[in-house]
Structures are given as structure tokens and as C-alpha cells.
Chain A
Amino acid sequence: MDYAAAGIRANAVCPGMVYTPMTSWRLDQPELRAEVEERIPAGRVAAPDEIADAVALLASGQSSTITGTLAIGVVAVHRGEPINALWLVVAATCCYALGYRFYSSFIAAKILVVDGLRATPAERLDNGRDFVPTNKWVVFGHHFAAIAGPGPLVGPVLAAQFGYLPGTLWILAGAVFGGCVQDFVILLFSVRRDGKSLTEMAREEGGKLGGIVAYAAIISIIVILLAVCALVVVNALKNSPWGTFTIAMTIPIALLMGMYLRRIRPGKVLEVSALGFVLVLLAILGGQWVSQHASLGKWFTLGAPALAIFIIIYGFTASAVPVWLLLAPRDYLSTFVKLGTIAMLALGIIGLRPTLHMPPLTRFIDGSGPVFAGKVFPFAFITIACGAVSGFHSLISSGTTPKLIRRETEARMVGYGAMMAESMVAIMAMIAACVLQPGTYFAINSPSGIVGAAPEAAATTISNWGFPITAGEMHSLAQAVGEQTLYNRTGGAPAFAVGMAHIFANSLGGQAVMALWYHFAIMFEALFILTVLDAGTRVGRFMIQDALGHVWKPIGRTSWYPSVLATSALIVAAWGYFLWQGVKDPLGGINSLWPLFGIANQLLATVALCVATTIIIKMHKARYASVTLLPLVWLVSVTFTASLHKMFDANPRIGFLSHARQLAATGGNARLIFNDRLDAFVTGILIVMVAMILLESMLEWIRILSGRKEAKVKESPFVPTRFATEEQG
């Protein structure tokens, strides 16, 4: 509408099923065509000319006063039509393109007043170390690699229990109006403050409380994130000698890489990462042999408790040994595999164009879902955090990235653009989950406490939900992917791996290599997750050392070994406790822990959006504050509602306290009762923190808007950039 006065009009046509080369594969088959046309109110598919007429009208002078029109040329609006995954990709791409072209440029121009003539800290403070003016594409790639974690892969897979529609809509709307905005504004505000961190900005612009809450939120997220990540790995590897062997082998491979980098070819990280990747592929092949070996197979067939203990020991060791030896090479290897696999998945989806078998909505939007309990609102919105809005990104946007940005104008592409790419990863994860037959999806993701431990019982329960599956089909699938069973593998990773293996195998190699692709996908996820786990444990250790250092100085010394061991043990004990709780939970653990993680992550997003809104108001841009205020209001309502449900809901599958009461009434295990109460307490603490930061921010906004406090932002002074004149010259 803003551009109408200049004669620029924006109209859209959204066609339904049209006979084109893309749809002809189906429409040329009389049976499939009849099936499609039966569902179309008009009783026939459209011809391209019919859509072209609408486009010609909107593009012609005859519609010179028409703007903002959405011409829905939908002929196929009836539910039940099989959807090709490519539609989701195309829809997502269009949403991102519109969001980037119009919304982000509106934010950049009207609110942030991005100034291409202002020198960034990378230029002013250039020291060749952390402040380095860097090419925008390089910063984009670096930022994307830093924000892409396991969250956007796991969250959408879990939320697929509601059908593909709620999660997909949230990923798109959440990213365009929330996540991308948050990442962009926090990045630019940090650029204007010499690359200050979120906690520093919260303290300076809001008050001490904001800084403390941000700090507490980060610690909470780290502890819960690490527990839930470890649980996902445990559930993916339990009773899987192939997967366990492959992942176990990544440790000596990483050690070898560390030694190679240190002793043989110093600094040749890309080279050693490629070498590590080849070794990992060999480990996957070796895993098949090990799983079939009479005695070796038994060694690597571990139950969930044994795996949990190994992972706890690994986390502690990785936190305490030198970084160059284990953590850094694992990180490089994981990044190498991550970027390659995401690119392969994108190509696989585009090449294969798989059909989504999951319906748009399932019966579980009513809250009775087996994967996790709770209605679509609010639980879909805390289950998918990282692909839509992730508070954690604000830490990256106010960490390394602002110190690399060469021109302020490049912050839009890096902040807004990289989050769009992350959101696309979440869409691909949703596709990978939804290409599975729903019965298969629920058989993999449902805990035994819901569907029963016996294969026949589980298959009957799931079939009775309206998603037919037989024990025989599940057995065949397990055999095809080289596993003993795929039942009760909660956590999302195995379902994602099966979906990914399906896409890869159908693109390259066929069903014969399904097992290899499945274990490649499991390796990719587990490697990725364990890297977050070891790096996160180390970061948590540093944060605890930093905090306790104020109480007793020697604890704060990161090189003092007793302090290193004690604080490593403390952080590992914290996430290890929640992991153990998840392993022992008859409902699978994910039901309790993933919502906690989502709430903690959205709490950090609340802090970031409060800080952003405060700064926008201080910039005298209060009339545009809705840009950050609306996602903030949405996140607060989601977080509050989800937290209250998790604490007080009368349904024992949802409410921690009602579950504790149920266990107490039936003489249940005292430890399980304590765990429920602990989870309720942690949720309560998180919600109190949300309320505190919100209250403090609102008081600050009122003080500024009423004129009781001077609206003064704490930006670095303007210095003209030399890059602008260099470019002109």
C-alpha cells in the first residue's frame, strides 16, 4: 500500500491444482486424476490459461487501481488431496521472499534507520582477532553455521503429531514476523553498541534485572537443552549396536583429527574435516559388520540407562580435557557433516518431490497426542522454537557476528536472512517427518507407556487411532534400516532419520541402501547433538565459574584444575539428573523435558524482544514498536499458558503436579513423584522470570513514554565509514 502512490502495485494469484508439467505425472494417470477431481468443488483441474487470464488482468492497465489483491485461484480446496512436499518448499520460499523484500526492508528503513555511512565496530575496532570487517556472504555463512543446531530438526518432527499444517504455519509466520525480526534487530543493536552481548544490552538499556534474568535463562536453557539433547541421543541409540558403534567411533576419529591438526598439518581444518568425514563413513560401514558380529554386536547393544551413563561420563571428560584434543575437532567434523547433509536433504526433497502422507491436521490437536501431551495451542509453539523464534539466536546475534559485519546495511541479510535459512531447515525436517506413513511415525515416536511394549499391542493401538500399521510392517521397516526394532524411539531423531533415509534412498541407491542412509542420518544427528552437548557443558562450566568467582575468586580461575573439575561436575550433574529422569520416565521423558526446553528458550526470546522494544521506544520510534511487541505478546501468552498447563493441568499426562498426585495415590515411586515436583518448580521459576522481565520492561516503557525518564539510547558515537567512499571511488 505504501508504494501505491508511486504507481507500484502488489497483487498475488494463488492457484490450486493446475495441469502443468509438474502435476502431469499424476494427472496423466486416469485413476489418480479421477481421485483428484473428485475432491475439487469444480470437478476438474484448471488449465494454465485460466490462471494466466487472472494474472494478465492484474498486470494490465485495466486493474490500475487494484493493489493488495490476493486472487485465490484455488480449484482444489478440498481437504484430503495428497500434497507434494515441494508445495511446502515453494510456499516457504515465497513467504521468505516477501518477508525479506518488504517486511525486513520496512524494519531497516523505518525503524532501525540502517545507515550505510556509519562505521561498524568491525571497522572501527578492527584488531584482526575478533573485530574483523568481513565479506557479507562469509558472515552470512558463518552466522548460519552458528545458529543451526539440532532444535530445528527435532522440534518440527515432534510437532508433526498435530499434522503438517500447524507446525508449518508456525514455522513460516513465526520466522517472518518473530525469529527473523529478533535476530535482525538484536544484531543491529549490538553492532551499534560495539558488539555488546544481550546480557550487557539488557543491563544497560533495561536495568540490572534484565541482565540477571538473561543470565539465569541462559543457564536454565543450557541445563535443560543438554539433558534433552542427551535424551534424544539415548533414545536413538538404545539397543542399536550399529548406531552406538558409529557414534563411539567418532571419539577416536576426533582425537585423531586433533592430533593431525596439532602435529601433522597445523591449521588445515578443512582438509582434516574431509578426512574425518571419510573415516566416519567407514565407521558407518563398519557398524553394519559389528552389529552382525556375534560377540561385538552384544558389546555395543546397550540399554538406555547404560547409554545415559556413558554420555554423562563423556560430557564430563569433554569439558575437562584440552579443547584442541577432542572438542574442537569434533566441532569441525560435526559442522562439516551438518552443512553437507542439510544441502543434501534440500537437493533430495527437490529432486524426489515426495508426497506427504501425514494429514494436515490430526485428531491430536485436542491434546491427547502420544508424542507429547497438550493441545495445539500452546504446545505446538513451544515445541518448535528454533525453526520459528529462538531466544538462543539472540546470543549469537550479539556474540561473534556483530564483530564481523562490515557495513550496517549488511545486517539485514545476515540477521534476517540467516534465520530464514534456519527456518527452511525446519520446513525440511517437517517434510522428512511427514513423508512417513502416519502409522509408522506414531509407532516410532510413541512411548511404550502409551501404546504398550508389545509390537502387536502398539500396532493395534495406533491403528485404532486411524493410522493403520501392522507389527509386520514395522518389523520389515526395522529390518530395512538395520535395527532390531523401531518402536518407542521417542525424541524425534529416529523418525527424522527414517524420513531422511527414505528421501535419500529413493534419490540415490534405492531400498538396498536404506540401512546405510538411516545410520548416516542417525550419525549426523547424534554427532551434531553430542557436539552441542560437549560444547554446552564447557560453556555452562565457564558460566558457573564466572558466577562463583564473585563469591570465591579461585573458583573463577579457568585454568585452576580443582575448579575446572568441580564446576564441570556441577554442570554435568545438573543436566545428568534431568537426563536420568527422562530415561526412567515411563512416558519417554520427552513429554516432560522438551516443553521445559521450549519454555526456557522462549523465555530468552522474551528477554531479547523486551530489550529490542525498549531500545525502539528510546529511539522515538514507539509507533513502530509493534514490530517487536507483537511477537513478544505472542511469546509471553504462549509461554505463560504452556507453563501453567505444565504445572497445574488436571490431566496427569500434561500437568506435573497432577501426575505427582496420581503417582502418590497409586503408591508410585517416590523418586518419580519428586521429579514431577522438581519439574513443576523449575517451570514456576521460569515463569516468574518471564513476569519479572516483562514487568520491569513495561515500567521502563511507561517512564519513557510519559516523559519521566529521558529517552536516551547508549549507542557508540557516529563515525563515517571509509568503505562507502572506497565503493564510490
Chain B
Amino acid sequence: MKRMRTIAAVFMAILQEIFDEAAYQRFLDRRKLARSRETYAAFRREYEILTAPRPRCC
């Protein structure tokens, strides 16, 4: 059961990383902010500068 819970936790962590939820959480932690429209908008601005020039794979 513990093993299943670990697998589920890792699976969720993978999804959160792929879908940038983990990146948003790190952004909040780093700046000690709470979730809000404003902080998400600020995160997107920072994140887009970081990821926009990155080529997408074929």
C-alpha cells in the first residue's frame, strides 16, 4: 500500500512538472507569495521569457 502511494505521488509529481504547476509553486515559494491572479500573471511573464525561445520537438 505504501509502495502504491509512493508511485501515485511520483506520478502526480511528474504531471505537475509537465504541466508547470510545480514551476508555479516554486515561483511562489521563492518569492514567498500566495496564489492569486496577480502572482500567476507574474509567474507567466517570468516563465515565458525563460521558455519562449526554446524549440519544440518534432
Residues of A within 8 A of B (CB): 127-130, 132, 134-135, 137-142, 145-151, 218, 221-222, 225, 229, 261-263, 266-270, 273, 323-324, 328, 332, 335-336, 339, 385-386, 390, 392-393, 395-396, 399-400, 531-532, 535-536, 538-539, 542-543, 546, 558, 597, 601
User: Given known contacts A129-B46, A328-B44, is B14 in contact with A138 (CB within 8 Å)?
Assistant: yes
Inside 8 A of A261's CB, which chain B residues have their CB? Answer: 40
Determine if B10 and A323 form an interchain contact, defined as CB atoms under 8 angstroms apart: no
Chain B residues positioned under 8 Å from A148 (CB to CB): 57
Instruction: Tell me, in angstroms, the Cα distance from A546 to B55 when the chains sit together.
Output: 14
**Which residues of chain B from 17 to 58 have a CB within 8 Å of any chain A CB?**
17-22, 24-27, 29-30, 35-37, 39-41, 43-44, 46, 48, 50-58
CB–CB A323/B52 < 8 A: yes
A130 to B52 Cα, complex, angstroms: 13
CB distance from A451 to the nearest CB of B (A): 28
CA distance A270 to B25 in the complex (A): 13
A218 neighbours in B (Cβ, 8 Å): 55
Tell me the complex Cα distance, A79–B52, Å: 51
A-B contact pairs, 19 of them (CB 8 A): A128-B30, A134-B17, A135-B13, A142-B17, A151-B58, A218-B55, A225-B58, A262-B41, A267-B40, A273-B19, A323-B44, A332-B20, A392-B55, A531-B56, A538-B52, A539-B52, A539-B54, A542-B52, A542-B53
Q: Determine whether the beta carbon of A335 is less than 8 Å from that of B10.
A: no
Interface centre among A148, A269, A532, A558 (most CB of B within 10 A): A269
In the complex, the answer to whether B14 meets A390 with C-beta atoms within 8 Å is no
When the two chains form their complex, are residues B58 and A386 in contact, meaning their CB atoms are under 8 A apart? yes
> Would you call A267 and B24 a contact (CB within 8 A)?
yes
- Find out whether the CB atom of A128 lies under 8 angstroms from the CB atom of B26: yes
Instruction: Please pick, from A221, A269, A323, A532, the residue contacting B21 in the complex, using a CB distance under 8 A.
Output: A269
The answer for the CA separation of A519 and B22 in the assembled complex, in Å, is: 33
Question: A324: which of B15, B35, B44 is its contact (CB, 8 Å)?
Answer: B44
Flag if B35 contacts A395 (CB, 8 Å): no
Of chain B, the residue at the smallest CB distance from A263 is: B37
Looking at the assembled complex, report how far the CB atom of A376 sits from the nearest CB atom of chain B, in whole angstroms: 22
CB-CB under 8 A from A137, the residues of chain B are: 10, 13-14
Complex formed: what's the CA distance from A138 to B21 in Å? 13
The answer to whether A266 and B36 touch (CB under 8 A), given A137-B10, A390-B58, A546-B53, is yes
The answer, among A130, A150, A268, A546, for a CB contact under 8 Å with B58, is A150
Across the two chains, which residue of chain A brings its CB closest to B18? A145
B17 contacts A262, C-beta separation under 8 Å: no
A536 to B55: give the CA distance in the assembly, Å.
Answer: 6
Q: Closest CB of chain B to A649's CB: distance in Å?
A: 25
6 A-B pairs with least C-beta separation: A266-B40, A141-B14, A269-B19, A128-B30, A151-B58, A542-B53
A156 CB → nearest B CB, Å = 14
B58 touches A539 (CB 8 A): no
User: Is the beta-carbon distance between B55 and A601 smaller than 8 angstroms?
Assistant: no
B: residues with CB less than 8 A from A are 10, 13-22, 24-27, 29-30, 35-37, 39-41, 43-44, 46, 48, 50-58
Residues in chain B near residue A268, CB distance under 8 A: 21
Nearest residue (CB) in B for A147 is B57
Interchain CA distance A624-B16 in the complex, whole Å: 39
Contact B52 A138 (CB under 8 A): no
Question: Are A400 and B54 in touch, CB under 8 angstroms?
Answer: yes
Q: Are A149 and B29 in contact (CB under 8 A)?
A: no
Residues of A within 8 A of B37 (CB): 262-263, 266
Query: In the assembly, what is the distance between CA of A396 and CA of B57, in Å?
Result: 7
Cα-based distance from A145 to B19 in the complex (angstroms): 10
- Interchain CA distance A263-B48 in the complex, whole Å: 18
Expressed in whole angstroms, the Cα–Cα distance for A269 and B12 within the complex equals 13
A128 adjacent to B29 (CB under 8 Å):
yes
Q: Pick the residue among B19, B36, B41 that contacts A270 (CB under 8 A).
A: B19
User: Once the chains are docked, how many angstroms separate the CA of A539 from the CA of B54?
Assistant: 6
What separation, in Å, do the CA atoms of A399 and B57 have in the docked complex? 11
Nearest CB in chain B: distance from A260 CB, A = 11
User: How far apart sit A147 and B13, CA to CA, in the bound complex (Å)?
Assistant: 19
Chain A residues whose CB sits within 8 angstroms of the CB of B16 once the complex forms: 270
A697 to B24 CA separation, bound complex (whole angstroms): 42
Chain B: CB-nearest residue to A132: B26
> Which of the listed residues B35, B36, B57 has the most CB atoms from chain A within 10 Å of its own CB?
B57
List the B side residues contacting A138 at CB < 8 Å.
10, 13-14, 17, 22
Contacts of A536 in B (CB 8 A): 55-56
Contacts of B54 in A (CB 8 A): 399-400, 539
CA distance A310 to B13 in the complex (A): 38
> With A137-B13, A336-B19, A542-B52 given, can you name 13 additional A-B contacts, CB distance below 8 Å?
A129-B27, A129-B50, A141-B18, A142-B14, A151-B58, A323-B44, A339-B18, A386-B58, A393-B57, A399-B55, A532-B56, A532-B57, A535-B56
Minimal Cβ-Cβ distance residue in B for A225: B58
Nearest-neighbour CB distance to chain A for B19, whole angstroms, equals: 4
Query: In the complex, A531 Cα to B29 Cα: how many Å?
Result: 30
Question: What residue in chain B is nearest A145 (Cβ atoms)?
Answer: B18
Question: Are the C-beta atoms of B17 and A141 separated by less than 8 Å?
Answer: yes
Name the distance in Å between B30's Cβ and chain A's nearest Cβ.
Answer: 4
A395-B29 in contact given A135-B13, A142-B14, A266-B40 (Cβ < 8 Å): no
CA gap between A601 and B27 in the complex, in Å: 35
Q: Given the complex, which residues of A lie within 8 Å of B20, measured CB to CB?
A: 269, 332
In the complex, what distance in Å separates the CA atom of A141 from the CA atom of B18?
7
CA distance A139 to B46 in the complex (A): 21
B53 near A543 with CB under 8 A, answer yes
Q: Which residue of A lies closest to B48 (CB)?
A: A323
Choose among B18, B26, B39, B53 the residue that contacts A129 (Cβ–Cβ < 8 A).
B26
